[in-house]
Amino acid sequence: MEPSASRTVATPQVDRKFHVLVGVTGSVAALKLPLLVSKLLDVPGMWKCRSDPVLHIELRRWADLMLVAPLDANTLGKVASGICDNLLTCVIRAWDRNKPLLFCPAMNTAMWEHPVTAQQVGQLKAFGYTEVPCVAKKLVCGDQGLGAMAEVETIVDKVKEVLSHHCGIQQS
């Protein structure tokens, strides 16, 4: 039986699992990580488990997209300066810039408003990375203002959007 043209066009683009590497920093917003990963596992075509121990180069090869959520001020400064003194910053430094890297800043409002922060975020964007902007709200420390990590649903929606454009994955 010959495949028809209409059947070929209607075939979903998800022929394999896609891998998202989630980087986590020391921000208090890391408390949202279990919920974020749980929601990411619901994305069609997403990985379900990872069992092999790997180094930073193996991780860069394995992942189709990298998500750093939350990205704290310390790691933002390291990445913007090219410092790679831990596994996360080594993976980012070795990242294939033909693949998407999304980052979700999260820090205290005073840190967010410091002039160096805008420079560092600009540097990451100049590297070709995509910012999922922080939001204003009451922070865990009690301060009110910008600096909170974007909401989990916002992050997941952005991952889906980038995967659909970059990898041809259909959103559900």
Q: How confident is the model at residue 112 (pLDDT cuts 50, 70, 90)?
A: very high
In this predicted structure, what is the pLDDT of residue 11? 44
111 versus 44: the higher-pLDDT residue is: 111
Asked if residue 3 is part of any domain, the answer here is: no
Higher-confidence position of 113 and 8: 113
Residue 7 maps to a domain: no
pLDDT of residue 40: 87
How many angstroms separate the Cα of 130 from the Cα of each of 9, 85, 133? 30, 22, 9
Q: Please check whether residue 58 lies inside any domain of the structure.
A: no
Determine, yes or no, domain membership for 71: yes
Q: Which residues are catalytic?
A: 141
- Of 55, 51, 56, 66, nearest to 18 (Cα)? 66
1, part of any domain: no
How far apart are the C-alpha atoms of 32 and 80, rounded to whole Å? 24
Q: Of the candidates 108, 100, 35, which has an alpha carbon nearest to the alpha carbon of residue 65?
A: 100
| CATH for 85 | 3.40.50.1950
Segment 58-105, tens digit of pLDDT: 889 889 999 999 999 999 999 999 999 999 999 999 999 999 999 999
The answer to whether 106 touches 76, Cβ cutoff 8 Å, is: no
Q: Is residue 57 part of a domain?
A: no
| Identity at 167, one-letter amino acid code | C
Q: Domain containing 82: what range?
A: 18-48+63-166
The answer to whether residue 90 sits within a structural domain is yes
- What is the tally of structural domains in the chain? 1
Is residue 171 assigned to a domain? no
- CA torsion through residues 158, 161, 166, 172, sign: positive
Instruction: Please state the φ and ψ torsions of residue 145, each to the nearest 5 degrees.
Output: 150, -170
Q: Which residues pair with 136 in a beta bridge?
A: 146
Distances (CA, A) of 71 to 25, 32, 105, 112, 131: 6, 13, 5, 12, 10
pLDDT digits (tens, 9 = 90+) for 8-65: 444 445 566 777 888 888 888 888 988 998 888 888 876 666 554 556 888 898 899 9
Q: 101 phi and psi, to 5 degrees?
A: -130, 120
pLDDT tens, 137-158? 999 889 999 999 999 999 999 9
pLDDT for the residue 10: 44
Residue 168 region, left (φ>0) first, then alpha (ψ -120 to 50), else beta? left
pLDDT over 50 at 165, yes or no: yes
